[in-house]
A and B are shown apart, each in its own frame.
Chain A
Amino acid sequence: MDLKAKIDNIEFKKLTPRALFCELTFRCNLNCIHCFCNGYNPEGEKELTFEEWRDCIDQAIERGVAWVTFSGGEPFLHPRIFDLMLYARQAGLSVILKTNATLIGRDEVRRLKELYVRDIAVSLYAMNPEIHDRVTGVSGSFEKTMQAVKLLREENFAVYLTPVALKGINVSEILPMYEFARKNRCSFSVGIDLLPNYAGLDDIVEKLQISAEDIKMIVEETSKDRNFVASEARYPCGVSDPNGPIHINPYGYVFPCLTMQVERIIDKNDNVRIRRLSEIPAKSTFYKLLPGLTWDSFPECKECRYRIYCHRCFIAEYIRTGSFYGSPSYANCATARFAYEIMQERRDVNAKKQMENACNRN
């Protein structure tokens, strides 16, 4: 067995989580209409201190994680964000950021460069400044975000633009954003399936979830020159993957996924202030339930041919229906179906071309 195979084997057997997500704060300098966490703190709890976050990073490294994502809220509102990034980098972790980028100027870009920060996901909602600012609720936010994207790309950072499609607000802006991303060599990924907010209410989803027709348009138009990657994974989502990630929220609660932190399903003991990270998977009800939920666990998905392109979120189904086995959202199903159809059409065209070429040769 070569060294790589040997190492992969050790990792697989130990069920090592690969990623740590630190939601440093739920505070934000923007006020996005679709946000599921803005300022969420129903019990007035204290955010984890710098020392507590540092301990979380140490514990996660003991568990074997390879990279850490700092997000929020707005992570740059955390007064010691750079100290935390430095700590993580010195400990060998790769660092990823999710930010609205409005607080990133030249000095921040220089410091991010020094730390070799790997990827930066930026929330952009429109190329029209008025529409973007309408989504964020803060006038002038578009200019700041765009300025930061420009600075980051000048320094060759891998920038991911991550808009969310919102009914009646920015659907017509998705294509201009896609063109901007292509021109500026940024990655681009549209959020289509809205998350219920942390209070477990669905009003955001009902008001802003786009239609199947819009989903089709977005999937088609933003995939003309790239392919969808089919997944044969046993697990619908990394949450049920035994090597899946660890999420820690600003108050120390630990989840396999950020969508789980809804009041009614929080296990109050799954907190780094109460237990060590290494104890939580064994003791938590949710962690006990989740590993092992494969596609075959879901009757509606078991035989579905579209599932190779599906990103079913069964935590969202739990919030919506009270069961992990509830029906998936139409946004999930529609996205998977359109991706399948597009790829099927491309396969047919390619097969036809090959056939024609073969005939011409003969």
Chain B
Amino acid sequence: MKDARIYKKTFRSAWRNIGEHTVAIMLDDYNELDELGGVERNETVVYFNETASAIWNLTDGKNSVNDIVSRLESRFSAKDKTLIYTDVLNILNEFKKLGLIEENGSKSQDR
């Protein structure tokens, strides 16, 4: 289950941690200007639950997927590492689909 891939956040969103949660706003959704000269803001806002928020904050361009799984194991006292790994991958894939993160190489010692 070694996964050495590293992800980093793109500039596509602005985000803020609130309590154990995170709110992210897509910054390229606003550029539709209406014909009256005003800005039509159809911003996509994404709310992360506690787990997604923890993964988001660990996705810093330095931690590998493996690092993130390890950190979550200790944080949530989870016993089933496979389950956590699957959850982390699913959430990272969701982030990727939204254009919020991109791959940033891999960590040699995790291979």
Q: Give A contacts to B, CB under 8 Å.
A: 3-4, 6-7, 10-11, 16, 61, 64-67, 89-90, 92-94, 114-116, 118-119, 156-158, 160, 178, 181-182, 185-188, 225-226
Contact = CB atoms under 8 A, between A and B. Distances in A.
Contacts of B83: none
26 contacts: A3-B47, A4-B47, A6-B21, A7-B19, A7-B23, A10-B19, A64-B16, A66-B14, A66-B23, A92-B9, A92-B15, A94-B27, A116-B11, A116-B27, A119-B39, A156-B31, A158-B30, A158-B31, A158-B33, A182-B36, A186-B33, A186-B37, A187-B33, A187-B37, A226-B37, A226-B38
Interface in B2-36: 9, 11-16, 18-19, 21, 23, 25, 27-28, 30-31, 33-36
B70 interface: no
A189 to B, nearest CB: 10
A3 B47 CA distance: 7
A120 B71 CA distance: 40
Interface of B: 9, 11-16, 18-19, 21, 23, 25, 27-28, 30-31, 33-39, 47, 49
Nearest to A95: B14
A94 B18 contact: no
Contact of B11 (A11, A89, A226): A89
B11 A3 contact: no
A323 B96 CA distance: 54
B47 A118 contact: no
A93 B23 CA distance: 11
Nearest to B41: A158
Contacts of B28: 116
The listed residue with most A CB atoms (<10 A of its CB), out of B34, B38, B49, is: B38
